[in-house]
Amino acid sequence: MSLLEAAGIYKSYAGVQALKNVRFSLAPSEVHALIGENGAGKSTLIKIITGAIQPDAGRLTIEGHTIDQPTPAGMKSRGVAAIYQQPSLFGHLTVAENIALALEPRTPFAKVNWSQRRTRATELLARVGASINPDQDAASLSMPQQQMVEIAKAIGCEAKIFVMDEPTASLSDKEVDNLFRVIGELRAKGAGIIYISHRLEELARISDRVSVLRDGELIATKQRNEVGREELVHLMVGRDVSAIFPKQKVSAGDTVVRLRAIKAQGIGPIDLDIRAGEIVGLAGLVGSGRTELANILFGLTPATSGVIEIRGKPIAIQSPQDAISAGIGYVPEDRRRHGLIQEMSVAENTTLAKLPPGFLNFAKEESTAKEFAHRLGTKTPSVDTPAANLSGGNQQKVVLSRWLATKPSVLLLDEPTQGIDVGAKAEVHALISEMAREGMAILMISSELPEILGMSDRIAVMSEGKLAGILNRAEATQESILHLALPCKRGAA
């Protein structure tokens, strides 16, 4: 019997048919991947399965029981657990307390058995292979560690259906390996896993079946070994996608950014130059200091010592305002939190950085927003729609558009295509390449080595807060990057 059946699911939001007559099933011991372009309806479908939103029509059954009114609590009690891309732990509570909260019935008079709580937490963390101290505050955990705590919570609740929405988006390769091992174990114990990802190469490693959504409709459900990557892309996009890395050859101009002995807490000293027209890829493991370096350059965490020169002039970057007036633009990694003003429209968000404060030119705003929405294929009913109503990937396209529209002289990109579908990825890469050709100096952080190798003129590799080395485009390979990125390589005897 299926663990889960969804049939005839419909859902519409004002002006958008997010799901149309969708059918989906999950068998015990199955990893069923769900793929599709940004805005295809993936998150909407799993929100219905977790009870977070109600479908307009359709039927959900779990192990043969029809669920009449799906609610989060009801679906949880039927064994559905969601592991979101942004974990939802209470930062000020310890890991053990977070796990306990998920497992224990919440009665006001229940006596708290501390030692039992700790033992249970330790046991569950061991099952996911996480070496995490249960007494640590959840706020001090890294993203991948938080994710493991979420999975430990779900295992503790005896979940049978694990829903994972882009779980690997900000994990390093090693962390991905660990996640896949845990998924393998869950599956071996009979659980079913719904797995959403834009990284198609992952699907071959873990999924049994793949379902493709396009514009809210189920296009196909296939055995993974029956379809190749190209066919999947075709099913998703409805056309062939050729060059994902259309890097143009650009001869580098004058040095735009010059960093000398830059230091901040846990970072540096760092020396790095970026020339006009150059794309410098910044590689390294999660936690190696890549984002911190970008934050220093954008004045979010100013350097404590060292010199930053822009076009030969030393400047003090103490705040984002300083950075913006020096011509620096920044597309941060956590765009949902830092990049986007949810209440404002797509058009307002696109031109936010471009127009001087207090200067509103509605006609111009609208045409710029329309142009970029068209180029990146941003799916939105109109440019006047609030950004909050867009799917995750489409929100990212809006933030990216804003900085591409500003044409700064230095552009810092942190994981520019994270969460962006394959079709749009090619377009984002083409745009980045074009910006470089126009003379922008670009620093691009990415955890995807093919993206780093495909797009960069030079590759700076960070390890434990320092620059472990800089490779030229011609000499760089996945191996040479990893060799520099892995801290153990140098420390080990």
Pair 45, 211: CB distance under 8 Å = no
Sheet containing strand 466-472, edge to edge, reads: 328-331, 410-414, 441-445, 279-284, 458-463, 466-472
Among 51, 268, 329, 392, binds Mg ion (CB under 5 A): 392
Taking alpha carbons only, the member of 449, 446, 485, 442 closest to residue 466 is 485
Site for ligand ATP in 335-394 (CB under 6 A): 379, 389-394
Among 9, 26, 33, 40, binds ligand ATP (CB under 6 A): 40
- In the bound state with ligand ATP, the residue whose beta carbon lies nearer, of 165 and 273, is 165
CA distance 218 to 184: 26
Sheet containing strand 267-275, edge to edge, reads: 267-275, 255-264, 305-310, 313-314
Identify which range of 39-47, 361-369, 394-402, 431-439 contacts Mg ion by CB under 5 A: 39-47
Residue where the block lists tokens 């941060």: 332
- In the bound state with Mg ion, the residue whose beta carbon lies nearer, of 216 and 392, is 392
Name which of Mg ion, ligand ATP, none residue 38 binds, using a CB cut-off of 5 to 8 Å depending on partner kind: ligand ATP
The first and second tokens of residue 46, run together, are 């799993």
Question: Strands (DSSP E) along 286-353, which ranges?
Answer: 305-310, 313-314, 328-331
- In the bound state with ligand ATP, the residue whose beta carbon lies nearer, of 47 and 153, is 47
Beta-bridge partners for 309: 258, 314
Contact pattern for ligand ATP over residues 6 through 25, marking x by CB under 6 A? -------x--x-x-------
- In the bound state with ligand ATP, the residue whose beta carbon lies nearer, of 44 and 463, is 44
Among 6, 26, 43, 461, binds Mg ion (CB under 5 A): 43
Residue 423 binds ligand ATP, judged by CB under 6 A: no
CA distance 258 to 79: 54
Measured from the Cβ of residue 360, the count of other Cβ atoms closer than 10 Å reads 11
CB of 487 to ligand ATP, least distance (A): 33
Nearest residue to Mg ion by CB is 43
- In the bound state with ligand ATP, the residue whose beta carbon lies nearer, of 75 and 390, is 390
Pair 354, 402: CB distance under 8 Å = yes
Count of residues binding ligand ATP (CB under 6 A)? 18
Identify which range of 124-132, 144-152, 271-279, 385-393 contacts Mg ion by CB under 5 A: 385-393
Name which of Mg ion, ligand ATP, none residue 16 binds, using a CB cut-off of 5 to 8 Å depending on partner kind: ligand ATP
Residue where the block lists tokens 């994270």: 418
The footprint of Mg ion (CB under 5 A) covers: 43, 392
Binding stretches for ligand ATP (CB under 6 A): 13, 16, 18, 36, 38-44, 379, 389-394
